[in-house]
Structure 1
């Protein structure tokens, strides 16, 4: 008799617990659409992405619906901590894991007026209203920041003129029809930069790297119009050696 009572009691507890979980599951707001979210995207999905990341302590910027540098770094941080592919793209798996980890999340501010999420890769551009425009070539503050990251990751041990040359190569690629037409598109093009491959792109840039980017934007191109460079000591690609070499600055050979 006692065993039967215990069995019934356990069944009731399990039923009540299941009901609670179902209520909790459906009571949590989930408004993500099916679109993958990546650098350059804007909209309500990005707003929710930032809000949930901030709820967990992975994001410390403004919740503004603008997938910029800070959001990209936060997504990568979240992915690394939750055993996901660290690609900076909030796809189905990342959004599901984020939603599962933030079921108690509730928006604390009004969502942006624009609806939906605009997916954007390296060639996309965040909404102008959420960007701090630079005075050079129409590039945004986020464009300048990711360029400074690239310069710092690729050339922080190089002489200053070499750092400016690396920034100039990025701009030369942006202006070339053979490459993506945005700094982020150029920098994150697969296999393009060692700093992206080894993660040094996420190191905090110093004032020298930032100044090098600005000098390149102001028209200084120590590379002489080059769109490639490589370190002859570490280069493993035979193809890069076939490019017409223009000059060597520090440890880098610049070529066309």
Structure 2
């Protein structure tokens, strides 16, 4: 019986098995299916590698993307703070407002869906661009103390009371609520002012819970930034519908849209 020649190979190298031949003959190598199996395993491993998730930006993050995020939010009027590349709580609140206005899940975190929607909404934004109309960036003391729920409730009131009015009329309604918040004659909370008995018709007829539109939120932001088209008014009424002698007796300041604003 002749001797057989068998190769010993490194387990990490491509495996070549030699044929068994009689003693004195020549060993002829043939590639086995083992190499193919090894390659298929490597391919399977490459395919099964997890795909990295898109980064979700949150308060505390810093960098160039946050800078651009703030710029784009300011372009739409949602962000009014400093452009500093830091995901501050003001940035967080601006993202929440953007998400709410565009029908996204309201988290305050900038995920892939939020980025895509924001980029689509700011197609005309360019680095260094300046909005043609900018609200004053001066916040009142009371405005700083407002919570997200306060702002949302104000937007509900603005939409219910002034939908169909020109935009300045919506800002005027928001300004009246803020003027009452500063006055000692009214409750010292936003909810207390809006739900004060007989204060707003929209509360009495249930329209306060209608879904506010984007302009209503924007009007609240402009009022918070210091725009008061009413020059300090505390009341307003529709002359075509108002029957109260008392409201007609109030000193009138001006008319905006269908409403007369008074002290």
Structure with larger Rg: 2
Q: Which has the higher contact order (CA 8 A, sep 6+)?
A: 1
Q: Which structure features the higher share of helix residues?
A: 1
